[in-house]
């Protein structure tokens, strides 16, 4: 498919304004409007790291076919202020329509853009709507150009905004729709129409999907100190906790969060913590404690551009090596890096179940782009593998760290009759008593790593590696995490078919499968959102395979499909 054909297959709408203008909410509602018509959507959201003000921007790409990423070139821009137009002027297609707040239209004449003045604020005042709702006027104007009928537009808007004043928003949408009709604005040639709706398809970001996955695996406690871009997971699970069995706790800092989680697992309940990589850095001593005490905690770690505070509201893949080597000392852990919301859901459920089966810490590694971008998804709980926890049989003396053939000791919680349950950060014997005996130190280390070896034998049950595209091609693209969306989207427009290999399990690493998939590849390209090609380094360490080419982005922005097509085609 050519780039021109792509412009017809994918439509992109941008919504821009200042913080407090409801830009994210407007983007989500617009995405939901398409979702309810059976379309595939991908919505990204960008904002600065300041408390008030600054430019906020939602960008939504939709298609009749599966869409994996948003596109930068826009067909429609709905702008609440002049800044939004000037900032995104270069991203407008030649025939793009710009619906802008009427008060700013005059000063934007010099831009050369197709400016459509819309009195959003005035329309909102006319019906006593809150100022934040004025963006719905722009959504109504857009609905006309997209080919939706007025009554259907009002019906959808009313339903989508039912928790935010459905009738008021429907009235605002009608005003925008009528204005667009009065101006006789051009409609999309093919219109949007309506497709068959998959009732299982929802619009979700990875943070919410992770929350749902953890709940599906029986999460009891979620403990987190809010840190962008993981904060929305805490908000989501706090709402889910109302009136339910789940407990959510926001302690004073990240160190308290992970230590509380270890205490919860000691008491026999399933616990997870969530943070950004900066917060995870604070958790390192406690993470090692979880390793030696064989505490089955799950940490959700979302990357942002660093080091230090860095660019806290932008994205990055710069912490792979840090996370897989997190904690001092040697001990096994699980690190899964999903590439979309559906994988995030499955990874979260499997991580929690595996952590308890093998009594070891697990990490779900995501990033800002994945955490906060929403896409049409189907969350299938049947893909989460349920595992049994090896429990004590109440016979004899209870040894928390009993040596067993598979390295997994029987588990029980304090309060169990006839059981004294130890938890210690010291090296210990089977009972949990501190020891410096060299034979025991070695034997207990081997015990913990035996569990990792047993886990590797289960690789075939899980999607440790995924393959897309032309599996017979001698050219392959290797990637991990959120770039998956842009890469799969870009692959639709490459000048030749290629093999696409995604690695999901970073630790333990499925060396055998990765080596097999790359065995006949002559031209290997890695694509990563970091400077040092951290996956490429891991690949060389585990398989001795060295990529021929590397495409890296480390300016804190996510990969964009159209730009990626050009870079990949140059290498092909």
pLDDT band at 163 (very low <50, low <70, confident <90, very high): confident
Q: Do domains 3-182 and 464-571 have the same CATH topology?
A: no
Q: What pLDDT does residue 190 have?
A: 59
How many whole angstroms from its chain centre is CA 329?
29
Q: Delimit the domains of the chain by residue range.
A: 3-182, 202-383, 464-571
Express as a percent the part of the chain with pLDDT over 70.
97
Calpha distance 559→70 (Å, rounded): 10
pLDDT band at 164 (very low <50, low <70, confident <90, very high): confident
pLDDT tens column, 194-250: 677 788 999 999 999 999 999 999 999 999 999 999 999 999 999 999 888 899 999
Q: What pLDDT does residue 165 have?
A: 86
Residue 49 has pLDDT above 90, yes or no: no
**149 Cβ contact list (under 8 Å, min separation 6):** none
Calpha distance 70→91 (Å, rounded): 13
CATH level 3 topology of 464-571:
Rossmann fold (3.40.50)
**Average pLDDT, stretch 405-409?**
97
Q: What pLDDT does residue 2 have?
A: 44
- Can you tell me whether residue 399 is helix, strand or coil? coil
Q: What pLDDT does residue 157 have?
A: 93
Using CA atoms, how far residue 59 sits from 116, 359, 436, in Å, is 19, 42, 58
Q: What pLDDT does residue 1 have?
A: 40
Residue 8 has pLDDT above 80, yes or no: no
- DSSP labels, 465-515: EEEEE-TT-SEEEEE-STHHHHHHHHHTT-SS--EEEEE-EEETT-HHHHH
pLDDT tens column, 423-432: 999 999 999 9
Using CA atoms, how far residue 361 sits from 19, 151, 178, 391, in Å, is 38, 53, 57, 18
In the block, residue with structure tokens 């427009």: 493
pLDDT tens column, 409-442: 999 999 999 999 999 999 999 999 999 999 999 9
Residue 188 has pLDDT above 90, yes or no: no
pLDDT tens column, 235-256: 999 999 988 889 999 999 999 9
Q: What pLDDT does residue 194 have?
A: 67
CATH number of 3-182: 3.40.920.10
**143 Cβ contact list (under 8 Å, min separation 6):** 33, 153, 173, 176, 177
In the block, residue with structure tokens 């609440």: 80
Residue 262 has pLDDT above 90, yes or no: yes
Q: What pLDDT does residue 276 have?
A: 97
Residue 7 has pLDDT above 50, yes or no: no
Tokens of 451: 């569990």
**Average pLDDT, stretch 509-518?**
98
pLDDT tens column, 299-340: 999 999 999 999 999 999 999 999 999 999 999 999 999 999
Q: What pLDDT does residue 50 have?
A: 77
CATH number of 202-383: 3.40.50.970
Which range among 191-205, 273-287, 299-313, 539-553 shows the weakest confidence by mean pLDDT? Answer: 191-205
Express as a percent the part of the chain with pLDDT over 90.
90
- Mean pLDDT of the residues in the chain: 94
Higher local confidence (pLDDT), 306 or 1:
306
CB 545 within 8 A of CB 566: no
């Amino acid at each position: 498919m050519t780039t021109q054909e792509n412009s017809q297959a994918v439509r992109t709408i941008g919504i821009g304004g200042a913080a407090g203008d409801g830009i994210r909410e407007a983007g989500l509602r617009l995405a939901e409007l398409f979702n309810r018509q059976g379309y595939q959507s991908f919505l990204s959201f960008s904002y600065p790291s300041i408390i008030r003000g600054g430019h906020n921007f939602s960008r939504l790409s939709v298609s009749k076919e599966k869409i994996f990423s948003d596109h930068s070139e826009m067909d429609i821009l709905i702008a609440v202020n002049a800044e939004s137009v000037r900032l995104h002027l270069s991203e407008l297609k030649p025939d793009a329509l710009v619906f802008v707040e009427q008060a700013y239209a005059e000063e934007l004449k010099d831009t050369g853009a197709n400016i459509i003045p819309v009195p959003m604020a005035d329309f909102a005042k006319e019906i006593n709507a809150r100022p934040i709702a004025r963006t719905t006027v722009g959504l109504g104007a857009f609905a006309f150009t997209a080919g939706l009928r007025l009554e259907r537009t009002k019906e959808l808007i009313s339903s989508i905004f039912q928790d935010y004043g459905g009738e008021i928003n429907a009235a605002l949408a009608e005003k925008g729709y009528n204005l667009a009709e009065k101006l006789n604005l051009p409609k999309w040639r093919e219109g949007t129409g309506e497709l068959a709706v998959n009732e299982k398809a929802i619009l979700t970001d990875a943070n919410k999907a992770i929350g749902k996955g953890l709940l599906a695996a029986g999460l009891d406690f979620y403990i987190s100190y809010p840190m962008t871009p993981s904060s929305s997971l805490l908000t989501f699970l706090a709402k889910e906790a109302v009136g339910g069995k789940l407990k959510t706790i926001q302690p004073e800092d990240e160190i308290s969060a992970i230590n509380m989680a270890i205490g919860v697992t000691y008491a026999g309940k399933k616990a997870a913590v969530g943070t950004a990589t900066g917060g995870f850095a604070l958790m390192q001593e406690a993470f090692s404690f979880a390793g030696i005490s064989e505490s089955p905690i799950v940490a959700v770690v979302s990357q942002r551009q660093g080091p230090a505070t860095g660019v806290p509201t932008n994205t990055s893949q710069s912490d792979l090596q840090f996370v897989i080597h997190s904690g001092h000392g040697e001990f096994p852990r699980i690190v899964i890096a999903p590439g979309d919301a559906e994988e995030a859901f499955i990874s979260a459920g499997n991580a929690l179940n595996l952590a308890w089966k093998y009594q070891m810490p697990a990490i779900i590694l995501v990033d800002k782009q994945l955490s906060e971008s929403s896409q049409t998804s189907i969350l299938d709980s049947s893909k989460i593998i349920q595992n049994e926890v090896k429990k004590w049989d109440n016979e004899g003396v209870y040894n928390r760290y009993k040596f067993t053939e598979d390295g997994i000791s029987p588990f029980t919680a304090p309060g169990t009759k006839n059981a004294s349950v130890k938890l210690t950060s010291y090296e210990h014997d089977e009972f949990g008593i501190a020891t410096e005996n060299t034979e025991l130190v070695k034997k207990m280390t081997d015990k913990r790593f035996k569990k990792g070896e047993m886990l590797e034998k289960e690789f075939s049950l899980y999607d440790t590696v995924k393959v897309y595209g032309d599996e017979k091609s001698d050219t392959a693209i290797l990637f991990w995490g959120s770039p998956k969306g842009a890469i799969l989207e870009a692959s639709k427009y490459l000048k030749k078919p290629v093999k696409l290999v995604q690695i999901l399990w970073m630790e333990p690493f499925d060396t055998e499968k990765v080596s097999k998939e790359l065995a006949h590849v002559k031209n290997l390209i890695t694509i990563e959102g970091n400077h040092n090609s951290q996956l490429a380094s891991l690949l060389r360490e585990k398989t001795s395979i060295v990529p021929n080419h590397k495409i890296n982005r480390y300016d804190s922005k996510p990969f964009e499909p159209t730009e990626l097509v050009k870079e990949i085609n140059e290498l092909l």
